[in-house]
Structure 1
Amino acid sequence: MEEDLENQKIVVHGAGEGDLLDSSTSQSSKETVVKQPAEENDQKSLGSGQTTGMALYVCVFSLALSLFLAALDIMIVSSIVETVANQFGDYSKTGWIFAGYSLPNAVLSLIWGRIAAVVGFKTSVLTAIVIFEVGSLVAGLANSMDMLIGGRVVAGIGGSGIQGLAFIIGSTLVDESKRGLIIACMSSAFGVASVAGPFLGGAFTTHVTWRWCFYINLPIGGLAFASLVLFYHPNGKLQSTRSTVLQFFSNTWNFVKRLRELFKLSTWKTFVHELIFRFDIIESLLMSAGLVLILLAFSFGGSKYAWNSAPTIVMFVLGILLTIFALVYDFVIFPRWKVVRTSPRYQPLIPWKIFSKFPIFVANVSVFFICMAFMCQIIYVIQFFQLVYNETAWKASIHSIAAVVPTVITVITSGIVNNKLGVVKPIALVGIFSGVIGAGLLTLLDNTSTTSQHIGFLILPGIAFGATMQSSLIGNQIQVDKKSKTYRMDFIAVTTLNNFLKNLGQAIGGVVCNTVFTTSITNKMRQHHIDIGQNISADAIVIYRSHHFDGSRSLLGDLISESIKNVFYMSLGFSAVAFIFGIFTSNKKLDLNKAPANTKESAGSVSSSSDKVESQ
């Protein structure tokens, strides 16, 4: 059976090794694929050279712009909750406005890298942008809470692809010596979006309409899409607009003609075979289900269900078991399949040889906890000014600028240091030291703090976020063995794993901080016999305080301030864990020697031959 499936590469392999819109395999895809050894084809380099000149600048700008939009959507909805709940009259589902985007955004990061490895990076990132745009349009046009949540889920699927693929593509545009600057540009976009979301969301909600939080994605995303179509050519060859358009329609027609293969049983056998071994779909489904259950348990625990209730316990236990089994499957079971042992084209989404490398492991754990801590801090700094001082979402979000500026300065400075000196560990150490000290200072924030403290307490967390994002990704990529037969797949694996853990850290941080605050304020209000007439949550208190504000130093103001401080204590714990792992960051440096034109492996060999076809 396995030998038959290996030889019956009709649609999946014919499309996968080229592009789904690849004219080069349209005449005899069966012969074309069989004649090319899978191992050799799967490890081909991206092309003969890197992108340069105006094309490089436009590509980086487009990728950064796409990344900005995808990251922006994580937090931009935090300031529209009250308005949307009042308009649709459905407050009970407001938590899903955030979770509907963050859950698929986090859990699908790994599979997008594998899709790109098979289909091609250009096709994959353009598809992700289209999905993101469709989701944004649905959310903007929503006439009910369910429609809004549905649009957020679709946008989250596309946003996951954008965030994962943007860093991979950006890393392949130049050789290793210049990679730090490219990643710095994209990390800047990611960092700014993470804290600017509430500010922009509040501005749109206050001065225009909440729907513009989603409409804004359409023209900007369209610009990024068009720029990548015209200027991103994976093999370094430039194309005219006319040839690009003609190629698209030609490839589309060839793909349509190949659809007749879908009526053959052998095609579906091959399709299932590829899903299991090429896309590692079993691990993906197990991991996704496990993480969703864990996040749902945190979301519902203490609010919809009691912490000791059967639904909460079952979600936690089943979620943890599924997540563990997903890792066991990738580390132990998947490599034992005969077809996997005999073909390097089949690799798990999370390879043990990558995950078990100590430098990669510690860097990823460190960035995971830093992202958790930073998300808790940013969300509840904004909530602090809304809940304690009764500021509008827009005005409260202005305070996050104190974290934006140091984040941007840090990632740009880190990129320059990477480019000039090649060092990574000093940047990582700056990040983890700033994280612990900044998180400790933030626990001093309360309703008696001065304006200078409001600003000063956010500087170090911003530096920590920027430095750790930059150093962890670069630190992962330089650990990959360039001489390995699976270098391309390994490079994709470490980049998507890093992005997966960043997204997951933000998703978990956004959920657990609400859990800690809600549990804390609920207990304190019960102790003081305070009743606000509805289920207690951060958003419910915002609504109550807007109508019954009794001052920042009232009893309720004190209780809110103390509860938010508990969130900051938790973020201090996360930062401490990041520090413990971060101090073991590898001393390995970037290779600052430019690779010869014909051997630019450091970026070129990362992409598949499918990307070659895309730009021919």
Structure 2
Amino acid sequence: MASSPAAATGPPPESTESVSDVERDAAATGVTSSSSEGPVDSVLLDEKKGSVEENPQPTPAEEEPEAGRTKFQTALIVFALCLALFLAALDVTIIATIMPTIAEQFNSSEGYVWVGTSFLLGNAAFIPTWGKISDIFGRKPILLAAVAIFWIGSLLCAISNTMGMLIASRAVQGVGAGGIIVLPNICVSDLFSIRNRGIYFGIFGMVWAIASALGPVLGGVFTSQVSWRWCFYINLPLSGAGFIILFFVLNLHNPRTPLKEGLLAIDWMGSLLIIGGTLMFLFGLEFGGVQYPWSSATVLCLIIFGLATIVLFAAWEWRFAKYPLMPVRMFSHRTSVASFLTAFLHALVFMSGSYWLPLYFQGVLRADSLMSGVYLLPFVLSLSFVSAAIGIFIKKTGNYKIPINAGLLTAVLGFGLFIDLGARANWAKIIIYQIIAGVGIGPNFQAPLIALQTTIEPRDIGSATSSFGFIRQLGTSTSVVIGGVIFNNEMERQQARLQREIGPELANRLSGSNAAGNVNLIASLDGPDGDTAREAYWFALRTMYIVYTAFAFLAFLVSLFIRQVNLSKEHQEHKTGLKTLAGKTSASKNEGLGKVTDAKGAA
């Protein structure tokens, strides 16, 4: 939510958890009382209709939302944040087109899914901790630490000589990427008003999409021309340059928290519970129906204990954590809950395109790793353009609900059309269907985050934004696992037919968890054997996209519960540190609420 200078109209309440929905919506509009820079911005609030009528008289804060910074300084900060985000985004998709080559080189088809999943798991599990640590120690040093960990992980990936080492190194890389993904959004939330954040979130969405577009292409180029290891070597100079730029240009509040006090303030138990619960749950999904039957004790225990641990995490955050990773008060508003769920489902659907479409191009259309990246461009470029355009739309109009709802409805159409792609190349369908899906996915990278921030207190900006990133990345990780489970199980179900038509030896190499790792084998098959194998691949992928289309429709239904409120251009830069977390500074006490009146004008 927007943080704006506000003079206290009375002593603040001892607890901000009881702030009503109406007050939170007023906070989202940036309603303020007097400040040293401008007149009081009076507000009329209709409690029955939940509408806010603002005084149209502009204030200096509205004219200069980034007062104290030149446009050049602002541009440098945004560029540095985009560079950091580009690195993490690149490594999400660059792996998609090189995995068949890696699986073949290490002779480990079962590691196909886990090279991608380990990165995403490390990414998702640590995001809440990154956000809270940045609340304690400040944004800049923690963002630099995340970039450094990402650099180390990239180096380890590049020199890996076994599949196990590569998977472990990708997990390290993912831990660093988790900080890189969430902290730029938190920094923008600290620096800019909620009305103006849309344009910067839109830029981040565009950067993510461009990296998604370049990732598969670069992966294909490096794999075919040099070595797949260069997909990780390239991160070393880029992340090094990003570290240097961020060190010199990123100027944010530094609370100078003593190391010992800061370490004691971290919610270590909460971090352990959420990381452990997430890993157990996703391990259970990955093993189910592939390495173990769904009814096996291993799968059931992993899923049940994973969910139980997540419940324990929620209880710990509610009752015991002094500085919780995810304050329970963030989930007290209908819009915040709907925004979190929308982010999860949106990420789940988005990943089905960027991660699994290359498998369709390579396995069904017989494309090499380079061309599969090129074939993915209609999806990611349309996504990129729409993400940037929606950021401008939100800044100009202040409306975030229309892009959310309309985008997800379009995504239902786009991903539903993927079911019609077929086992034979039809390039008109391939291009048009991807564009429709990209147009639907694009608006929902930034708009649900803005909706969430309209419901929260200023001191919870870091926790809410990191929780949003965690839930989004959990959706991404879950998508890869769910897609892999569906694909592997569908290939296993076709084993009897494949053994009859192409023989036991080839059929076994295309069974269950072996199928995705042997995509190059299918490309080498000609005649009836090749047609049969490609049709089996397509049938498995078609079933996968039926499920993802259902998830897209569910996301649309959930998004209908998001409420639209007015967005303000007023802002005061948020301060980090233990005093703010403890509510001992004015910045953390109902900042942005200012003077709220009822419909009759009574305070």
Q: Which TM-score bucket, shorter chain as reference?
A: 0.7 to 0.9
Relative distance call for 1:367 and 1:212 in structure 2 (3 A) is same
- The alpha-carbon deviation at position 442 of structure 1 amounts to 1.7
Q: 1:440 matched to which residue of 2?
A: 416
Q: 1:215 matched to which residue of 2?
A: 233
The partner residue of 1:113 within 122, 131, 140 is 131
Q: Provide the rounded CA distance (Å) in 2 between the counterparts of 1:79 and 1:189.
A: 20
- The alpha-carbon deviation at position 591 of structure 1 amounts to 0.9
Q: How does 1:505-516 map to 2 (within 5 A)?
A: 505-516=475-486
The answer to whether 1:167 aligns with 2:137 is no
Q: 1:17 matched to which residue of 2?
A: none
More off after superposition, 92-101 vs 422-431: 92-101
The answer to whether 1:605 aligns with 2:582 is no
The partner residue of 1:290 within 261, 270, 277 is 277
Q: 1:18 matched to which residue of 2?
A: none
Q: 2:312 matched to which residue of 1?
A: 325
**Aligned-residue identity in percent:** 27
Q: Provide the rounded CA distance (Å) in 2 between the counterparts of 1:429 and 1:501.
A: 19
Q: 2:545 matched to which residue of 1?
A: 568
Contact 1:389 1:552 in 2 (8 A): no
Q: 1:586 matched to which residue of 2?
A: 563
- The alpha-carbon deviation at position 413 of structure 1 amounts to 1.0
Relative distance call for 1:369 and 1:48 in structure 2 (3 A) is closer
Q: 1:280 matched to which residue of 2?
A: 267
- The alpha-carbon deviation at position 497 of structure 1 amounts to 1.3
The answer to whether 1:225 aligns with 2:277 is no
Q: Provide the rounded CA distance (Å) in 1 between the counterparts of 2:101 and 2:537.
A: 22
Q: Provide the rounded CA distance (Å) in 2 between the counterparts of 1:552 and 1:189.
A: 42
Contact 2:288 2:294 in 1 (8 A): yes
Q: 1:543 matched to which residue of 2?
A: 520
Q: Provide the rounded CA distance (Å) in 2 between the counterparts of 1:610 and 1:49.
A: 25
Q: Provide the rounded CA distance (Å) in 1 between the counterparts of 2:222 and 2:320.
A: 48
User: Could you give the per-residue CA deviations for residues 512-566 of structure 1, whole angstroms, max 9, x where no partner exists?
Assistant: 1011011012102324435323353342340321332447982222222121111
The answer to whether 1:371 aligns with 2:344 is no
**SS of alignment partner, residue 303 of structure 1:** coil
Relative distance call for 1:90 and 1:443 in structure 2 (3 A) is closer
The partner residue of 1:185 within 203, 219, 223 is 203
Q: What amino acid maps onto 2:320 in structure 1?
A: F
- The alpha-carbon deviation at position 608 of structure 1 amounts to 4.0
Q: What amino acid maps onto 2:101 in structure 1?
A: T
Q: Provide the rounded CA distance (Å) in 1 between the counterparts of 2:282 and 2:81.
A: 29
Q: What amino acid maps onto 2:358 in structure 1?
A: I
The answer to whether 1:334 aligns with 2:320 is yes
Q: 2:53 matched to which residue of 1?
A: none
Contact 1:280 1:349 in 2 (8 A): yes
More off after superposition, 402-411 vs 550-559: 550-559
Q: Provide the rounded CA distance (Å) in 1 between the counterparts of 2:480 and 2:204.
A: 22
Q: Provide the rounded CA distance (Å) in 2 between the counterparts of 1:550 and 1:137.
A: 43
The partner residue of 1:463 within 416, 439, 452 is 439
Q: 1:30 matched to which residue of 2?
A: none
What count of residue pairs does the alignment treat as equivalent? 508
The answer to whether 1:386 aligns with 2:373 is no
Q: What amino acid maps onto 1:495 in structure 2?
A: T
More off after superposition, 465-474 vs 541-550: 541-550
Contact 2:283 2:302 in 1 (8 A): yes
Q: 1:496 matched to which residue of 2?
A: 466
Q: Which runs of 4+ in 1 moved over 6 A?
A: none
- The alpha-carbon deviation at position 606 of structure 1 amounts to 5.0
Q: Provide the rounded CA distance (Å) in 1 between the counterparts of 2:71 and 2:370.
A: 39
Q: Provide the rounded CA distance (Å) in 2 between the counterparts of 1:347 and 1:72.
A: 33
- The alpha-carbon deviation at position 182 of structure 1 amounts to 1.1
Contact 1:389 1:551 in 2 (8 A): no
The gaps in structure 2 that reach 5 residues or longer are 1-64, 581-603
Contact 1:49 1:235 in 2 (8 A): no
Q: How does 1:36-115 map to 2 (within 5 A)?
A: 51-115=69-133
**SS of alignment partner, residue 480 of structure 1:** coil
Relative distance call for 1:317 and 1:403 in structure 2 (3 A) is same
Q: 1:24 matched to which residue of 2?
A: none
Q: How does 1:331-370 map to 2 (within 5 A)?
A: 331=318, 333-334=319-320, 346-370=322-346
Q: 1:133 matched to which residue of 2?
A: 151
Q: 1:154 matched to which residue of 2?
A: 172
The answer to whether 1:302 aligns with 2:289 is yes
Q: Provide the rounded CA distance (Å) in 2 between the counterparts of 1:551 and 1:205.
A: 29
Q: Provide the rounded CA distance (Å) in 2 between the counterparts of 1:405 and 1:610.
A: 44
Q: Provide the rounded CA distance (Å) in 2 between the counterparts of 1:55 and 1:609.
A: 28
Q: Provide the rounded CA distance (Å) in 1 between the counterparts of 2:417 and 2:108.
A: 38
User: Could you give the per-residue CA deviations for residues 108-140 of structure 1, whole angstroms, max 9, x where no partner exists?
Assistant: 110100110111110000010011001101111
Q: What amino acid maps onto 2:406 in structure 1?
A: V
- The alpha-carbon deviation at position 172 of structure 1 amounts to 2.4
Contact 1:374 1:571 in 2 (8 A): no
- The alpha-carbon deviation at position 399 of structure 1 amounts to 1.7
Relative distance call for 1:540 and 1:408 in structure 2 (3 A) is closer
Q: 1:340 matched to which residue of 2?
A: none
Relative distance call for 1:83 and 1:440 in structure 2 (3 A) is closer
